[in-house]
Chain A
Amino acid sequence: MSGKVLMCGNEAMAEAAIQAGCDAYFGYPITPQNEVTAYMSKRMPEEGKVFIQSESELAAINMVFGASATGKRAMTSSSSPGISLMQEGISYLAGAELPSVIVNVMRGGPGLGNIAPSQGDYFQSTKGGGHGDYHCIVFGPSGVQEFVDTMPLAFDLADQYRIPVMILADGILGQMMEPITIEKKPRRKLPEKDWALTGADGRKQNIVRSLWLAEGAVEQHNYDLQAKYRQIEKNEIRCEQYEVDDADVVVVAYGIAARIVRGAVQKARQQGIKVGWIRPITLWPFPYEQISRAAEQLRIFLVVELSCGQMVEDVRLAVAGKAPVVFWGRPGGGVPTVEQVLEKIQQVTIHPKKK
């Protein structure tokens, strides 16, 4: 695909996954990401790749597990309730250290919720979700082009660190059409998959497992996983910021909320309010350091999410009491408007005075 094309996030992401060398897509239809399954059902066979509509999200994530265990690049996508069903498999992927890419086009919850955009799955994605001490790398793209650009990176990081990578989108990002370009990017230099199950032809048996019964073995496995997570924290944090240096107010938001915040900050600046924003791009590992640095000067932090406040807890951890942290958000499919965010910025700006 060359030149600019107008595509919705779901289809653009799917095409980007194909260009990133995805060998297999497994998924179960769920709104608001049905464009992905439909698109993949047509495009994957055209590329000689695998598409299967699974009987459930449980099956989909385990098909990903199977393909990945043989060294193939595999992915699935779903929306919040379906991602909940996948948590068992994600924990196993983390335990068995299998590379995989999982896209969550979030909708309102809890339960069946609705099919409107939401950011209610932040805790689930960044703090585990399934059982055990593990992390996935989590991206929160804020536009269709970034959604597209995240795909090759997600597959590369999954392979490099042998880890499930989640992409947290939402109903708007999935449905919204934007002009984008999809380019085939060269892969990172990646380690050989000598652990993969390929038939023990002339070599020792390979075993992919997450069970270690010997005393102390799972403890050691966990220490090894944690060492890997520390490496990822060192190397892979991504974060964007805008006009933070002179700001009295720093708005922190990710994904589609950050798009709305951008508009509100622009308007606030036009009104002479000293406001900037920080946008975490990786939600795990989280840019604690960057936010902590911004908190060294006394200023107000305003966190805006399409939820009742989840990422705000990480912002508070980063700020560590050095500055006030105010939260404002709308849950369950409520989408903040630029005007609402602007009003919040105006409200929190009244009181603070720089030392």
Chain B
Amino acid sequence: MMQKVFTRPQTLKDCPTHYCPGCGHGIAHRLIAEVVDELGIRGKTIGIAPVGCAVLAYDYLDVDMVEVAHGRPPAVATGMKRTNPDYIIFSYQGDGDLAAIGTAEIIHAAHRAEQITVVFINNAVFGMTGGQMAPTTMLGQVTATTQAGRDPAHDGYPLQIAELLAILPGATYVERCALCSVSHIRAAKKALKHAFELQLNKAEGLSLIELLSPCPTYWRLSPPDAMLWIQNEMTKVFPLGRLKG
């Protein structure tokens, strides 16, 4: 009899994906599902889906989930965690959700040292609305709203949220990873698992894992080239590694 050596995590549903070919959300979802399985926390985990491409995250992640207003997941997570300290609460947020419209919510959740886990998907672009500039869009990057490339004189600079949060005493663990190669993906999983473990062990404070994630569609690159662009370009502005904790 053949031995099964690789299988779908139980927390990841067996269904077709709505994400574009080469999108990083599928990888990130899978990593979360693996971590939830490995830690055996499905029965007490609540996930928060953002407004953005991952709004339907609950179609893939088989845990209790809620979908909330744009940018507000850290406030919703606060309401959940404070009333249910034993639950494991994570928010899953894109760069529009977390780094644009929801900056107040994430900074204050970190500043209050909320014991939640934030998964921050940075793909340097607004995906769901058609590829507009995000706060994390790279200088010179062409988007639907920076058609000649992002110009700092007009559009400002890429926003480094992880660095901003890392200086707050209430943020205990902040790490930036990338979903651009097998080894990077493994490192990302390790970071995610650590973040969930901290919450499981009731460690003080908020943890945030930023994941540099490919968006081949709106970067107008092939999926392999998108991976290379993360490694060669994005990491220059968004350096990988543990910023805190």
Contact = CB atoms under 8 A, between A and B. Distances in A.
Given A210-B67, A211-B67, A74 B58 contact: no
A211 B63 CA distance: 18
A88 B81 CA distance: 22
Interface string A55-95: 11011101111111110101000000000000011001000
A307 B208 CA distance: 48
A209 B47 CA distance: 12
B96 to A, nearest CB: 16
Contacts of A202: 43
A262 B68 CA distance: 44
A104 to B, nearest CB: 19
Given A52-B78, A70-B46, A197-B80, A205 B104 contact: no
A92 B68 contact: yes
A54 B75 contact: yes
B43 A200 contact: yes
A96 B76 CA distance: 13
Contact of A70 (B58, B63, B80): B80
B42 interface: yes
A205 B64 contact: yes
Contacts of B83: 23-24, 50, 66-67, 70, 72, 74
B118 to A, nearest CB: 14
B77 A66 contact: yes
A194 interface: no
Contacts of A206: 64-65
Interface string A12-46: 00000000000110100000000000000000000
A63 B42 CA distance: 23
A88 B75 CA distance: 14
Contacts of B67: 207-211
B66 A211 contact: no
Interface string A184-220: 0000000000000111111001111111010000000
A59 B66 contact: no
Interface in B27-76: 42-46, 48, 55-56, 58, 62-69, 72, 75-76
Taking chain A's interface residues, is the majority helix, strand, or loop, or is none over half, making it mixed? mixed
A197 B108 contact: no
A198 B58 contact: no
B76 A63 contact: yes
A198 B63 CA distance: 10
Interface string B181-207: 000000000000000000000000000
A94 B113 CA distance: 29
Contact of A63 (B45, B79, B87): B79
Interface in B100-127: 104-105, 108, 112
B58 A59 contact: no
A78 to B, nearest CB: 15
Contacts of A26: 79
Contacts of A55: 104-105, 108
A58 B72 contact: yes
A59 B43 contact: no
B55 A199 contact: no
Contact of A208 (B45, B55, B56, B66): B66
B69 A62 contact: yes
B13 to A, nearest CB: 9
Nearest to A72: B83
A56 B104 contact: yes
Contacts of A63: 75-76, 78-79, 82
A202 B44 CA distance: 10
Given A59-B108, A197-B46, A67 B68 contact: no
Contacts of B62: 200, 205
B84 interface: yes
Contacts of A66: 48, 66, 68, 75-81, 83
Given A50-B83, A70-B87, A207-B67, 10 more contacts: A23-B83, A26-B79, A52-B112, A62-B76, A63-B78, A89-B69, A197-B80, A205-B58, A205-B64, A211-B56
Interface of A: 23-24, 26, 50, 52, 54-56, 58-60, 62-70, 72, 74, 88-89, 92, 96, 197-202, 205-211, 213
Interface of B: 42-46, 48, 55-56, 58, 62-69, 72, 75-84, 87-88, 104-105, 108, 112
8 contacts: A59-B78, A60-B75, A66-B80, A68-B79, A69-B80, A72-B83, A197-B65, A211-B67
| 8 residue pairs, one from A and one from B, having the closest CB atoms | A66-B79, A201-B43, A63-B79, A62-B75, A66-B76, A199-B44, A55-B108, A67-B79
